[in-house]
Amino acid sequence: MTEKPILVTGVAGFIGRAFADRLLGQGIAVVGVDSLENPLLPELSEARLGTLRNRPGFTFEKVDLADRAASDELFRTHRPDVIVHLAARAGVRASMEQPHAYTRANVEGFLNVLEAARNGDARHLIYASSSSVYGARSEAPFSETDAVDHPVSLYAATKRANELMAHSYSHLYGIPTTGLRFFTVYGPYGRPDMAVYMFTKAVFEGTPITLYEGGSLLRDFTYVDDIVEGMARLIPHAPVGEDAEDARPDRAAAPYRLFNIGNQDAVRVRDLVFYIEEAAGKKAVIRSLPMPLSDVPMTCATTEELSALTGFEPSTPLKEGVARFVQWYRGFYGV
């Protein structure tokens, strides 16, 4: 796949940890980068990193990528040829409360990564986008060729900005960039602000779960192992650019591509709660509220482009993935 270590940013994050674990398990060296500034649950970041420390082939660098000098030094030292950029402030609602922090991490931080790729040896930059860029669409499934010009949260706007920034650097400097639109990822060591984690915690603690619109919102829940498998398969497929007449929103004459990674199955959030109840052996306490303006009624991916290139399609059923998460939660928290 690559002789040099792969540089993974956000390695103490949910997907970053799982992806680094996947690479190390294949015998691929990893330089993991993280600021360790988790505003939600710092001890979870340390726990994630603890699963990687002392593993053969793993090197950790504590760096804030929005710090230009520190970022430049990081990339001068390691000069990676494959960069997987997952570091970001995540979450729709928190971006409304901390807009400057989100812009600094997600836009300035990504700019520094692009500059490092331009000035270094990068032959493939893979970066995290989000299904949030699709906005408040009601028609499914979502395709990479759909218009994404109306984000309904600042978080979504920063991720769409990343896609546009990547295209400009691919066009100007020939940097192969692949953007990944993740769809509601869940699994062990997941984010505490995501529904699967929050609902599981609430069920075990007997506290109320808030369901918007009675749990009728639809989400394309994607198990983390499916996400990292798709990412790993994309590493050797650096885009080379399309003929001008074949240019589309998700690909271009520049070496630039976008892919959805989702489970291709929109499930009612109320059904998610049922699976958690079943796995936990406890009933949830539920209250219903109207959907916030920053939220969307549905997410649902088509992954035909990913499958055509790599032969892989995410496939973990929600019931199975939730059972695995609840088992991890029991062990991690001793409940």
Active-site annotation, residues = 155
Do the beta carbons of residue 276 and residue 321 sit within 8 Å?
A: no
Phi-psi region at 244: left, alpha or beta (left = phi > 0; alpha = psi -120 to 50): alpha
Do the beta carbons of residue 185 and residue 220 sit within 8 Å?
A: no
The three state secondary structure string of the chain is: CCCCCEEEECCCCHHHHHHHHHHHHCCCCEEEEECCCCCCCHHHHHHHHHCCCCCCCEEEEECCCCCHHHHHHHHHHHCCCEEEECCCCCCHHHHHHCHHHHHHHHHHHHHHHHHHHHHCCCCEEEEEEEHHHHCCCCCCCECCCCCCCCCCCHHHHHHHHHHHHHHHHHHHHCCCEEEEEECCEECCCCCCCCHHHHHHHHHHHCCEEEEEHHHCCEECCEEHHHHHHHHHHHCCCCCCCCCHHHCECCECCCCEEEEEECCCCCEEHHHHHHHHHHHHCCCCEEEEECCCCCCCCECCECCHHHHHHHCCCCCCCHHHHHHHHHHHHHHHHCC
